[in-house]
Chains A and B, each alone.
Chain A
């Protein structure tokens, strides 16, 4: 038991060292020159204009909706998963499984509709 945990602790140390080492090396070695471009929030591609604190475009709304559909799905999946073993022992396994598949297929149709209606294309 203990050696196993010791191994994990060793791994943890190694991981931390691996992450910290470059930072230390950079801090020691790298030259420091300040310029305006470096201070910008966005450093490649098109130059940023205006503030970063802008409103999100309305197109995000559809994505948020689709996220919501599958977010709420987990509310039902979770209690289903918790009670599945008990119900399977009682002889309901297949029935309950089919029920959940029907539910998931209905939700998948929503995604297919949004896809086919072109709502997933970026405008």
Chain B
């Protein structure tokens, strides 16, 4: 037992809860910044999953290849940073056009 005494399922439950909170935030919040934060929460929930699965897995078999779960997590952090940068740029652009940060207000296109 090198993974410590905490069972894997705890991590998975935590990650699922964080993911669900993030999903709820995306669907329920109107403020664009809050939506962005909720998306980050979802990405990081997946990160917890990846690292936990990697830590608790058997020694990798022949089909596993050279890429470990932690490596995935590192790349996901990068992607999350890129998404935040792009997201904030778009929010600023929309804020300048509408003077509002509510996603509901951006409604010039509909139908």
Report if B17 contacts A (CB, 8 A).
Answer: no
Q: Chain B contact residues (Cβ within 8 angstroms of A): what range?
A: under 10
Q: Chain B nearest CB: distance from A96 CB in Å?
A: 14
A75 vs B92: C-alpha distance in the bound complex, in angstroms? 27
Contact of B81 among A58, A61, A72, A79 (CB under 8 A): A72
Residues of the A chain whose Cβ atoms lie less than 8 Å from the Cβ of B81: 68, 71-72
**B interface: dominant SS:** helix
Residues B74 and A61 in contact, CB atoms below 8 Å apart: no
Report if A76 contacts B (CB, 8 A).
Answer: yes
Residues A76 and B92 in contact, CB atoms below 8 Å apart: no
Q: Chain B nearest CB: distance from A90 CB in Å?
A: 14
Residues of the A chain whose Cβ atoms lie less than 8 Å from the Cβ of B88: 61
Nearest neighbor of A66 in chain B, beta-carbon distance? B85
Q: Chain A contact residues (Cβ within 8 angstroms of B): what range?
A: under 10
Nearest neighbor of B71 in chain A, beta-carbon distance? A79
Q: Chain B nearest CB: distance from A115 CB in Å?
A: 17
Nearest neighbor of B86 in chain A, beta-carbon distance? A65
Report if B9 contacts A (CB, 8 A).
Answer: no
Interface string of A57-76 (1 = CB under 8 A from B): 01001000100100110011
Q: Chain A nearest CB: distance from B52 CB in Å?
A: 19
Those of A32-83 within 8 Å (CB) of chain B: 58, 61, 65, 68, 71-72, 75-76, 79
Closest 10 CB pairs of A and B: A72-B81, A65-B85, A72-B78, A68-B81, A75-B74, A68-B85, A75-B77, A75-B78, A58-B92, A61-B92
Chain B residues with a Cβ under 8 A of chain A: 74, 77-78, 81, 84-85, 88-89, 92
Chain A residues with a Cβ under 8 A of chain B: 58, 61, 65, 68, 71-72, 75-76, 79
